[in-house]
Amino acid sequence: MTKITAIIPVKGKSSRIKNKNLKKFHKSSLYEIKLDQLSKCKNFDEMIVSSESEKVLSIAKKKKFKIHKRDKKFSTDTVPMSDVYKNVASEIDCENIAWINVTNPLVSSKEYDEAAKKFKSLNLKKFDCLLSVFEIQDYFIYKNKPINFKRTPWPRSQDLQGLLSLSFAINILKRENMIKWKSCVGKKPYYFKLPQLTSWDIDFIHDFRFCEYIFKQKNK
């Protein structure tokens, strides 16, 4: 039976938005909202918060989540994310890892459960990971060349071939592969599609304000 451990990586501090994960968001914080969403899920066998911050870990324990005390070195902006993936996966004993960021507040418990359920049903000889993505149907140019359209005859926007963008809301793969690849992206991914709005990741303050507004509207 396929078992999935959800790992929620949370840094105590952030650079682009000060204390982003713990900053007040609606009536709570991005971090606590994510824990509340995940606590309603039924398809994860274990859920662990990984952080260097005692405050973050304390909140996790109060909400009945397991914790992984991360070396502060792996919560700095100078360490490559590939090293973080390898370090955390190496220190947590499990079969499969669902890497779940807290910066996608519009993803619901239902969607996390659907992703986990889908991974458990996958033929893992055909697919080596599940990646959450959203499709962007627009006109793209790279190095002065159209990527998904021809200049003539000019295509209608609804006829364009959409491109997939990784949202990092949830990625699931074997623990041993995360260690080996130092990544959560394999060569044979199953793309778990979510709407672009649902997938919205908070990177900058305008993302934060926009998502907070949408979150408030959804939770009136």
User: What is the per-residue pLDDT for 16?
Assistant: 84
Backbone phi, psi, residue 126, to 5°: -90, -35
The 10s digit of each residue's pLDDT in 173-186 is: 999 999 999 999 99
Quick one: pLDDT at residue 126? Answer: 97
As to burial, measured by CB atoms within 10 angstroms (0-12 exposed, 13-18 middle, 19+ buried), residue 15 is: exposed
CATH number, domain of 195, equals 3.90.550.10
Q: What predicted TM-score, i.e. pTM, was given to this entire model?
A: 0.94
Distances (CA, A) of 117 to 43, 98, 112, 168, 186: 6, 12, 9, 17, 19
At 83, is the pLDDT very low, low, confident or very high (cuts 50, 70, 90)? very high
pLDDT of residue 105: 98
Q: What is the pLDDT of residue 13?
A: 87
pLDDT bracket for residue 64 (50, 70, 90): very high
- pLDDT tens by residue, 145-160: 999 999 999 999 999 9
Residue 115 sits in which domain range? 4-218
Of the chain, the percentage scoring pLDDT greater than 70 comes to 100
Full DSSP string of the chain: ---EEEEEE--S--TTTTTTTTSEETTEEHHHHHHHHHTT-SS-SEEEEEES-HHHHHHHHHTT-EEEE--GGGGSTTS-HHHHHHHHHHHS--SEEEE--SS-TT--HHHHHHHHHHHHHS-TTT-SEEEEEEEE-S--EETTEESS--SSSPPPGGGSPPEEEEEEEEEEEEHHHHHHHTSS--SSEEEEE--HHHH----SHHHHHHHHHHHHHHT-
Q: What is the pLDDT of residues 88-146, one digit of tens each?
A: 999 999 999 999 999 999 999 999 999 999 999 999 999 999 999 999 999 999 999 99
Quick one: pLDDT at residue 1?
83
The number of domains in the chain is 1
